[in-house]
């Protein structure tokens, strides 16, 4: 069964394959072709040859970013931005522990909390602080 990001109807798969490749594929052939087009959504990686795929951040469409094993593991360990976005703008420090947080990045959206009084907290500190002092960035 395909991942949710590829859960199109069979007709949509066939149309997409025809549009992309100029050849009409039907049913299972089409599904195999679309699954083979999978690429890591980390802009600094983009591999298409991973042996294992992981779910990353939630996309605006409701699906999840498709990440190769290496990038997906970094995302799960909450070090994705430290590893791939180190030289990007938008870094702040956690008000409680000083850990760097990449604000405004979709990959780190679920790993930090915005404080009502301004500033941010990393997930670990936010879990230990008073609930009234934080507002989830996901709300």
Mean per-residue pLDDT over the chain, rounded: 77
The token pair that represents 15 in the structure block: 């149309």
Angle between helices 28-36 and 10-21 (to 10 degrees): 60
Residues 132 and 36: their CA atoms lie apart, in Å, by: 47
- Answer whether residue 20 shows pLDDT above 70: no
The arithmetic mean of pLDDT across residues 12-35, rounded, is 52
Helix/strand/coil percentages in the chain, nearest 5: 35, 20, 45
pLDDT in tens, 76-86: 998 999 999 99
- Answer whether residue 115 shows pLDDT above 80: yes
Residues 56 and 65: their CA atoms lie apart, in Å, by: 5
Query: What pLDDT does 128 receive?
Result: 86
Residue pair 23/17 in contact (Cβ under 8 Å)? The answer is yes
**137 or 127: which carries more pLDDT confidence?**
127
Residues 120 and 33: their CA atoms lie apart, in Å, by: 43
Query: What pLDDT does 84 receive?
Result: 94
Of the CA atoms within 13 Å of residue 48, those in its CB half-sphere come to 6
Residues 130 and 58: their CA atoms lie apart, in Å, by: 26
Length of the chain: 139
pLDDT in tens, 93-111: 999 999 999 998 999 988 8
């Amino acid at each position: 069964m395909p991942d949710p990001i590829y859960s199109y109807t069979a007709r949509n798969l066939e149309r997409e394959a025809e549009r992309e490749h100029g050849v009409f594929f039907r049913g299972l052939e089409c599904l195999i072709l679309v699954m083979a087009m999978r690429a890591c959504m980390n802009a600094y990686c983009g591999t298409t040859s991973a042996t294992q795929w992981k779910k990353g951040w939630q996309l605006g469409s409701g699906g999840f970013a498709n990440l190769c094993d290496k990038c997906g593991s970094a995302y799960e360990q909450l070090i994705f931005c430290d590893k791939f976005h180190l030289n990007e703008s938008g870094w702040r420090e956690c008000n409680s522990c000083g850990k760097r947080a990449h604000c405004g990045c979709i990959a780190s959206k679920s790993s930090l909390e915005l404080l009502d009084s301004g500033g941010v907290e990393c997930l670990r500190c936010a879990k230990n602080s008073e609930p009234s002092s934080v507002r989830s960035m996901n709300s």
